[in-house]
Amino acid sequence: MDLTTPALLFPAISLLLLAYTNRFLVLAQLIRQLKQMDSEEDHTLIARQIGMLRKRIVLTKRMQAFGVLSFFLCTMSMFLLFLGFEMPGIVAFGISLVLLSLSLLYSLYEIQISTNAINVELSSFEARKGASRQ
């Protein structure tokens, strides 16, 4: 394996980390919005959303951590290959790929929870619309 193989992952991992940061910022914004809409009538909805948001924050933290570790090991792999340590470089690159895969799996799970949260919002919206029509 040569130095260019791990270098191919650099742009992908960088973009992935940027996307994860954007997700985190959106979560922070959602939490601030929930705090503003705190009222008695929305208490059940808010309680459900808070549970999902907490889980999504934990998942986002794990996604970011595994992504950063993957990036670090990819860099370490390139450095080891640069120094001529082929086998340690290959091992570091392999671990980097495993960590990147874990990061993507956490991302997939977070997307599923995010979709469920949107469905909770839609259900609540539909219930309020139905109640206002009567």
Render pLDDT for 1-18 as a digit per residue (tens, 0 to 9): 888 888 888 888 888 989
Regions of the chain with pLDDT less than 70 = 37-42, 131-134
SS3 track for 102-122: HHHHHHHHHHHHHHHHHHHHH
Position 91 scores a pLDDT of 97
Cα angle for residues 6, 16, 4 (degrees, 5° grid): 15
Position 39 scores a pLDDT of 59
Q: Could you report the per-residue pLDDT of 43-63, keeping only the tens digit for each?
A: 777 777 788 889 999 999 999
Position 41 scores a pLDDT of 57
DSSP 34-62: HHHT--STTHHHHHHHHHHHHHHHHHHHH
Could you identify the residue written with the tokens 């450095």? Answer: 79
Q: What secondary structure letter does DSSP report for 4? A: H
Contact indicator for 74, 96 with CB cutoff of 8 Å: yes
